[in-house]
Chains A and B, each alone.
Chain A
Amino acid sequence: MAQHQVNYAASGGLPVALTTVDKLVNWGRTNSLWVLTYGLACCAIEMMASGASRYDFDRFGVIFRASPRQADVMIVAGTLTKKHAEFIRRLYDQMAEPKWVISMGSCANTGGMFNTYATVQGVDRVIPVDIYLPGCAPRPETLQYAVMLLQKQIRKRSIFQKPKPKRLV
């Protein structure tokens, strides 16, 4: 049997890593952002494309879940009608803390081209939004960039800080 002599101190290979609790927790949070699929209109097609093999959202630890109770992020992809507003709020309330919202596309940001009586003029009238993603529809790369920005935003915050109050609780 071969005898291995590992000099941990010399090669920097000490099997101990020093870090802060912040970094550890945020590492866990940022790399497994499970998202609630919220496809409401055409933007959902781009969201599905980001999840499929070509753009491969799994690389970021993003996995689509169909239940709000297992999700950390809500990607609102599409036109929110006034009839549906109450349900988006209910699903948002059912998500466990910490939770984030990405508003994807012009429709979710501002109502977009649907300047009519039946469309909510921006999801931020109903739920708090962390990232606004412009475009109609935004390409999958843009959605991935938004997720990366969100990861950056999460990494910056200490877990001991009280979260900043959002506009709508």
Chain B
Amino acid sequence: MRPYRPKDNLQAKAYYNDRFWVAPRIPEEPVEDPVFAADLASLQEHYPIQRAYIQRGQLVIHIDAKENKEVLRYLKEELGYDVLSELSAIDYLAQDGEFEIFYQLLSLEKAKRIRVKCRIKEHEAIESVESIFRSADWSEREMYDMFGIKVNNHPNLKRILMPDDWVGHPLRKTYPLHGDEAAQWYEVDKIFGKEYRDIIGPEQRDAAFVDPNDTCNFARIKHEVPRCADPNSEPIRIEKFNDDAPFVETFDLKKAKIVNRDR
């Protein structure tokens, strides 16, 4: 949970700065569960397992990336983990120069979940597991689309979410959130052509932006001048309404009470 911070004056602050919160890591526990211990022992006879531990009741094993297909086949055919529910990658390029690829498996019979992890370097490819689990087809395409990880022997390796002519791989940590130049002008370039960039102009990304000197488009709260007037001119003060609205009483600021809402 994030620590609670009072949010009373959030309206006055245009920018929210509590963004880069790092979640604590889930603790790793030794493999004591008898079902997992038996599965792990059986796996270790055939393939070298680099690390194995339990996280939140799930067995996590780290293997060599070259053996991913054999390990998954063994898990499916011998140990009964017959559903591949998720497969993707995590970008650790800045830390270790590697991608971590994970396979999330489920055994309906044992009601157990197991996560297989392996690491590859940036320009290495991984072997497709599509021939073992059909669900890996689209997941591997998504992994290729989002991270640019090549998958060997995949039947149809092309982008799945982004358009085919997209530049870059958006889920990499180095990809800017607002897109690189090709992404920011993508629709303009594609529909109208590059010469239209000047007419349409760059994207307005900052929704909280208020230009205090532009009085035609923005009102400055507590210092409201007439529209398009000089920003430093005298603000408008409405003293009386009663002239044009005889039944409306003028609001007396001195009598006003500002309620302090404590939450």
Residues of B within 8 A of A (CB): 161-163, 170, 175-180, 183-184, 186-188, 190-192, 199-200, 203-205, 207
Contact = CB atoms under 8 A, between A and B. Distances in A.
Where chain B touches its partner, the secondary structure class is loop
Give the 7 A-B residue pairs with the shortest CB-CB distance, closest first: A117-B179, A85-B187, A121-B203, A83-B163, A117-B183, A82-B186, A89-B191
A116 B178 contact: yes
Where chain A touches its partner, the secondary structure class is loop
Interface of A: 82-83, 85-86, 89, 110-111, 115-118, 120-122, 125-126, 168
Nearest to B170: A117
21 contacts: A83-B161, A83-B162, A83-B163, A85-B186, A85-B187, A86-B187, A86-B190, A86-B191, A89-B191, A111-B203, A115-B207, A116-B178, A117-B176, A117-B177, A117-B178, A117-B180, A118-B170, A125-B188, A125-B203, A168-B192, A168-B199
B170 A120 contact: no
B163 A82 contact: yes
A120 B187 contact: yes
Contacts of A121: 203-205
A115 B177 CA distance: 8
A110 B204 contact: yes
B197 to A, nearest CB: 11
A97 to B, nearest CB: 19
A122 B213 CA distance: 24
